[in-house]
Amino acid sequence: MIALPTLLITGASGFIGRHVVRALSGDRWQIHGVVRHGADPGVKGVTWHRTDLLRPGAASNLIEQVRPEAIMHLAWNAMPGKFWEAPDNLDWMAASLELYRAFVANGGKRALFAGTCAEYDWSHELLDEADTPLKPATLYGTTKAALFQVLSAAAPRDGVALAWARVFFLYGPFEAEARLVPYVIRALMEERPAECSAGTAERDFMHVEDVAAAMIATLENDYCGPINVASGSCVPIHNIILEIGNQLGRPELIRFGARPTPSGEPRRMAASTTILQDKIGFRKPRSVGEGIAATIDWWRARIKSGG
């Protein structure tokens, strides 16, 4: 029997990670998932490791134990409203460097690291991997951009095929309740007003299961370099909120303008998805309407079960 290559996924119980683990085919990889807190997602066929990667030496010990041929690094602080300027962004950058160096030292060859659209200069309305400069406006974006630049310089020397996934805006099952889409869904389901900003800013929203599928497709491709993970469709946030209201039949409960628009918020953040479509071959993610419908169904089931 031919041994399957080993894949290590950090942040495997997180918002993106749990969907990656569920979607990955067990007939192509020996899958190892890393969780930091709480229970693992309970996916069969996965070897689970409970490790705090922020503890010095933890990443090196984990890599030496697993010796993966490939890695998908998703772990980072994503606490809603706090991660942008959280001091531990520096700790995550250091832990990611330790992880990468251990991966190289133990013969790793294929790496996909999760970056962010917050690396870009937001004064540009179309964010393109080749043409848009990196000029992050937050500590989160700065540490991600710095890590990208360091690893991009190191990977060719180290014989590592590195892809860097700049993830845009996402929603779907298991999203933190404080974030926009779950907040509006739960408020309207409970027949409470949903207080929102005017929602005039335009963003590219992608269902988390499509994000996971795009990440897997990128990992299993030979593409190296930065890649936007987004739908390619940029819409006003107002439209997303109104889609939820219309599908739930309670648009009158939405209070647009009840909250101020965040200071300095970019008017438009559109993603170029040419590389994702043409190099990776990932096309036709679900529409916003389809994604919102599936997300509402998930929340209905979760609330019914007492979640």
Q: What is the pLDDT of residues 152-169, one digit of tens each?
A: 999 999 999 999 999 999
Binned at pLDDT 50, 70 and 90, residue 227 comes out as very high
The rounded mean pLDDT for the chain is 96
Binned at pLDDT 50, 70 and 90, residue 2 comes out as low
DSSP 8-state secondary structure symbol assigned to residue 68? -
pLDDT value of position 304: 86
C-alpha dihedral sign at 232, 24, 109, 17 = positive
CATH assignment of 172-204+233-269+287-304, among 3.50.50.60, 3.90.25.10, 3.40.50.620, 1.10.40.50: 3.90.25.10
Instruction: Write down the domain spans for the chain.
Output: 6-169+205-229, 172-204+233-269+287-304
Percent of the chain, pLDDT > 90?
90
Tell me the C-alpha to C-alpha distance, in Å, between residue 239 and each of 35, 171, 242, 299. Answer: 35, 14, 5, 20
User: Which CATH superfamily does the domain covering 6-169+205-229 fall into?
Assistant: NAD(P)-binding Rossmann-like Domain (3.40.50.720)
HEC string of 104-115?
HHCCCCEEEEEE
* Helix, coil or strand: residue 276: helix
pLDDT digits (tens, 9 = 90+) for 88-128: 999 999 999 999 999 999 999 999 999 999 999 999 989 99
Nearest to 71 by CA among 82, 79, 57, 59: 59
Binned at pLDDT 50, 70 and 90, residue 1 comes out as low
**H helices within the chain, ranges in order?**
17-23, 58-66, 88-105, 139-158, 180-189, 208-219, 237-248, 274, 288-304
* Shared fold status for 6-169+205-229 and 172-204+233-269+287-304: no
Show the tokens assigned to 74.
């998703």
Nearest to 76 by CA among 110, 47, 119: 119
